[in-house]
């Protein structure tokens, strides 16, 4: 089934063209997790049509490299190749080779979306079109989230937590943060040439995104969204800062939000799992992982090995004797060692440098991309961001598009004629 679905999607991409295929994925992927879940029939770690989409994305990206020699894949390869090589080598001594290969392929799809943006985005108008397409793709999840709230389908043990079309509220929260960054990037100055009606619609969409983000009860996403709002308010529109005044009102109107913050003030002892708050639980988990890290600090224990070994170093009982690391940095240290973490940090150091160069070329809206990157990296500290496919895909497509715009800016400057000095 996986091979057949992948073949059909690849055939579709060949028929409509890579650009239309990518546009279709950007427009629909955020709404499709419930459909893909129904296609998981067991085997291959319950892979379904979602895995076929991942395979098609990789094939389309490879096809662009093979058939478009005039466009260099260099901007994406410089970013991603060191990390992918380290992870590939790490699969060779992983305790579960199947899980390691699946994680490697997942990371490869992140790189593929960055690469596809390099090929698809030709100029600022192209980037504007794709950003608007990403925002349009968020409308269906937003409507479904409203339906969840209206029908009472978003109830968890700790109260209401909206999750829309995503498997967990945390993933939806990170997706909302990404969409918020995209919306505010579009409205950051006149660069994207929005019509007054479209700009007004995007501005009105912001409080809806923020309201849903609060109702996910994902604290790390709250902090990331706060940084994005602060950046936009200080650099582009001071009215954006007024949203911070609404936060106390929201906490008073919905006591569950205040309780979510108050949870961090209790449950900081490891007497029992039930008494630990979520952050204290993470700290205890990371401390146990670090005791093993020092046995293999250079290369780690193998890709996707954290869940395999966690029951041996974590002192508290776990469901199914496994749990993810809840920190990208701890995961890379444990699984790929210092070399893997260095490759991951290199990836973001390079994209931050490229974004700063874009700002130096006069594209002030790129400050919003820096805020988005900072928000993502802060969430990577305490969440399993490597496995959160949709928000990471969209973020890397936007960043790859920014790299494409930067490359065009450099090309234009190199072609600019040199005027002779007056006699």
3-state helix vs strand vs coil in the chain, percent to 5:
75, 0, 25
Q: What is the residue whose two structure tokens read 């040439």? A: 193
Between CA 154 and CA 150 the distance in angstroms is: 9
Question: How far is residue 2 from each of residues 53, 59, 305, measured CA to CA in Å?
Answer: 9, 14, 25
- Classify the phi-psi angles of 10: left when phi > 0, otherwise alpha if psi is within -120 to 50, otherwise beta: alpha
Question: How far is residue 290 from each of residues 100, 139, 217, 326, measured CA to CA in Å?
Answer: 20, 42, 29, 14
Q: What is the residue whose two structure tokens read 């890709």? A: 303
Query: Collapsing DSSP states into helix, strand and coil, what is residue 184?
Result: helix
Question: How far is residue 118 from each of residues 178, 259, 405, 410, measured CA to CA in Å?
Answer: 19, 44, 9, 14
288 contacts: CB under 8 Å, gap ≥ 6: 310, 313, 314, 315
pLDDT tens digits in sequence order for the chain, 423 residues long:
667 777 888 888 889 999 999 999 999 999 999 888 877 755 444 567 888 899 999 999 999 999 988 888 988 999 999 999 999 999 999 999 999 999 999 999 999 999 999 999 989 999 999 999 999 999 999 999 999 999 988 888 777 899 999 999 999 999 999 999 999 999 998 999 999 999 999 999 999 999 999 999 999 999 999 999 999 999 999 999 999 998 888 877 777 777 777 666 665 555 544 567 888 889 999 999 999 999 999 999 999 999 999 999 998 888 888 999 999 999 999 999 999 999 999 999 999 999 999 999 999 999 999 999 999 999 999 999 999 999 999 999 999 999 999 988 776 665 555 445 454
Q: State the maximum Cα–Cα separation within the chain, in Å, rounded to a whole number.
A: 84
Q: What is the residue whose two structure tokens read 């950007």? A: 26
Contact status, residue 21 vs residue 12, Cβ threshold 8 Å:
yes
Tokens of 86: 């380290």
Q: Please choose, from the candidates 213, 56, 223, 57, the residue with its C-alpha nearest in 3D space to the C-alpha of residue 145.
A: 213
> Cβ of 158: how many Cβ atoms within 10 Å?
12
> Cβ of 48: how many Cβ atoms within 10 Å?
19
Q: Which residues pair with 160 in a beta bridge?
A: 155
């Amino acid at each position: 089934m996986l091979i057949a679905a992948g073949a059909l999607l690849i055939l579709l991409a060949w028929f409509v063209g890579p650009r239309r295929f990518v546009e279709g994925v950007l427009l629909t992927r955020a709404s499709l997790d419930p459909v893909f879940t129904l296609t998981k029939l067991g085997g291959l770690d319950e892979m379904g049509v979602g895995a076929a989409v991942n395979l098609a994305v990789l094939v389309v990206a490879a096809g662009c490299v093979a058939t478009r020699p005039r466009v260099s894949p260099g901007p994406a390869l410089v970013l991603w190749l060191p990390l992918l090589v380290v992870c590939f080598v790490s699969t060779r001594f992983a305790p579960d080779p199947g899980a390691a290969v699946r994680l490697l392929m997942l990371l490869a799809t992140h790189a593929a979306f960055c690469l596809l943006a390099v090929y698809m985005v030709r100029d600022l108008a192209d980037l504007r079109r794709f950003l608007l397409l990403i925002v349009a793709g968020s409308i269906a999840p937003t409507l479904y989230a409203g339906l969840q709230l209206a029908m009472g389908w978003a109830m968890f043990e700790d109260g209401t937590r909206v999750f829309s079309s995503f498997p967990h509220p945390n993933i939806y929260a990170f997706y909302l943060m990404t969409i918020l960054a995209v919306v505010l990037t579009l409205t950051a100055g006149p660069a994207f040439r929005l019509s007054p009606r479209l700009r007004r619609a995007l501005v009105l969409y912001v409080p809806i995104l923020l309201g849903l983000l609060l109702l996910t009860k994902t604290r790390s996403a709250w902090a990331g969204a706060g940084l994005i709002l602060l950046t936009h308010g200080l650099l582009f529109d001071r009215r954006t800062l007024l949203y911070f005044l609404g936060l106390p009102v929201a906490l008073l109107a919905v006591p569950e939000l205040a309780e979510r913050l108050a949870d961090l003030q209790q449950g900081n002892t490891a007497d029992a799992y039930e008494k630990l708050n979520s952050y204290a639980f993470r700290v205890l988990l990371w401390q146990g992982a670090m005791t093993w890290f020092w046995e293999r600090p250079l290369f780690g224990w193998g890709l996707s090995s954290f869940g395999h070994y966690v029951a041996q170093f974590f002192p508290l009982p776990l469901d199914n004797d496994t749990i993810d690391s809840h920190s990208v940095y701890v995961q890379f240290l444990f699984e790929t060692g210092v070399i893997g973490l260095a490759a991951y940090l290199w990836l973001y150091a390079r994209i931050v440098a490229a974004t700063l160069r874009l700002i130096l070329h006069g594209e002030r809206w790129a400050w919003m991309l820096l805020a988005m990157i900072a928000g993502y990296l802060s969430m990577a500290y305490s969440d399993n961001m490597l496995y959160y496919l949709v928000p990471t895909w969209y973020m890397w497509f936007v960043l790859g598009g920014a790299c494409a715009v930067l490359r065009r800016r450099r090309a234009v400057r190199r072609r600019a004629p040199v005027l002779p000095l007056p006699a």
